[in-house]
């Protein structure tokens, strides 16, 4: 399975996931660029979908649908794991509520398209208000192999690492993360995230020490996640 990243509106990132001549547009804000890329490689866009329904992610849907004849998959209808076939290969979509109630992640062989749930270097705001659901969603993503590539909904890498350094000034994982940053494509591995992204470092011994010094509850994973989200 292949993935091509498209930047639009300064820091938004959308994707064409494809196998052979068959593709799926996820957050197609860069509709024209996506259609041009697909055309040049003779890829038929079979599905158009989104990681969640915030406007900056759905803005390309109408254009893509009218210009390609693709089937629209409303991410709100993805309430449990669902497989999409692209030329005999599967993309798995599954709910990852937290940032919004309708947030979805797409997984294929070596990557995740995480929308505004997990960014490279940070996590999304918990606009749903359901922090426990957000935690469970992040736990599901963290269970993928460390080599899994994270393709997120925005490029927030530089701001995220400035903030990570305020939270964990001693963390050398932040330097490594910045050194491997590229703006095209913006991606990281899950292992990189676990070293540098403070919001999913609730099991890192250094982070646990950091939280203990703040006198917050640290007994359970969720308590530590909650403390990081509330403190920072």
Q: Would you say 54 or 149 has its CB closer to Fe ion?
A: 54
**Start-end of H helices in the chain:** 31-40, 55-58, 61-68, 131-142, 157-167, 173-179, 190-196, 205-213, 221-231
**Start-end of H helices in 41-100:** 55-58, 61-68
Report whether the peptide linkage leading into residue 185 is cis, meaning its omega lies within 30 degrees of zero. Answer: yes
Measure the CA angle with vertex 27, ends 21 and 31; round to 5°: 65
Least distance in angstroms from the C-beta of 55 to Fe ion: 9
Task: Give yes or no for a contact between 34 and 58, defined as CB atoms under 8 angstroms apart.
Answer: no
Q: Is 80 left (phi over 0), alpha (psi -120 to 50) or beta?
A: beta
Give the residue among 73, 143, 74 at the shortest CA–CA distance from 112: 143
Least distance in angstroms from the C-beta of 130 to Fe ion: 15
Q: Would you say 7 or 54 has its CB closer to Fe ion?
A: 54
Task: Give yes or no for a contact between 107 and 68, defined as CB atoms under 8 angstroms apart.
Answer: no
Chain positions contacting Fe ion, by CB under 5 A: 54, 116
Least distance in angstroms from the C-beta of 116 to Fe ion: 4
Q: Would you say 54 or 224 has its CB closer to Fe ion?
A: 54
Q: Would you say 86 or 186 has its CB closer to Fe ion?
A: 186
Task: Give yes or no for a contact between 31 and 45, defined as CB atoms under 8 angstroms apart.
Answer: no
Q: Would you say 54 or 201 has its CB closer to Fe ion?
A: 54
Least distance in angstroms from the C-beta of 91 to Fe ion: 20
Least distance in angstroms from the C-beta of 80 to Fe ion: 22
């Amino acid at each position: 399975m292949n993935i091509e990243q498209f930047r639009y509106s300064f820091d938004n990132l959308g994707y064409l996931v494809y196998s052979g001549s068959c593709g799926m547009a996820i957050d197609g804000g860069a509709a024209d660029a996506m259609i041009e890329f697909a055309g040049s490689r003779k890829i038929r866009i079979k599905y158009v979908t989104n990681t969640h329904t915030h406007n900056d992610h759905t803005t390309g849907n109408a254009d893509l649908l009218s210009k390609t004849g693709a089937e629209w998959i409303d991410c709100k209808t993805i309430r449990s794991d669902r497989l999409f076939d692209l030329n005999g290969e599967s993309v798995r979509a599954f709910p990852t509520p937290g940032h919004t109630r309708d947030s979805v992640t797409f997984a294929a062989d070596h990557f995740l398209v995480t929308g505004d749930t997990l960014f490279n270097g940070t996590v999304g705001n918990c606009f749903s208000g359901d922090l426990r659901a957000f935690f469970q969603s992040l736990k599901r993503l963290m269970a993928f192999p460390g080599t899994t590539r994270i393709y997120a909904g925005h490029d927030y890498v530089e701001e995220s690492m400035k903030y990570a350094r305020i939270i964990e000034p001693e963390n050398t994982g932040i330097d490594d993360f910045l050194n491997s940053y590229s703006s095209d494509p913006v991606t990281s591995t899950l292992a990189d995230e676990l070293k540098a992204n403070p919001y999913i470092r609730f099991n890192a011994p250094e982070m646990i020490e950091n939280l203990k010094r703040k006198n917050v509850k640290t007994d359970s994973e969720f308590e530590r996640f909650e403390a990081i989200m509330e403190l920072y």
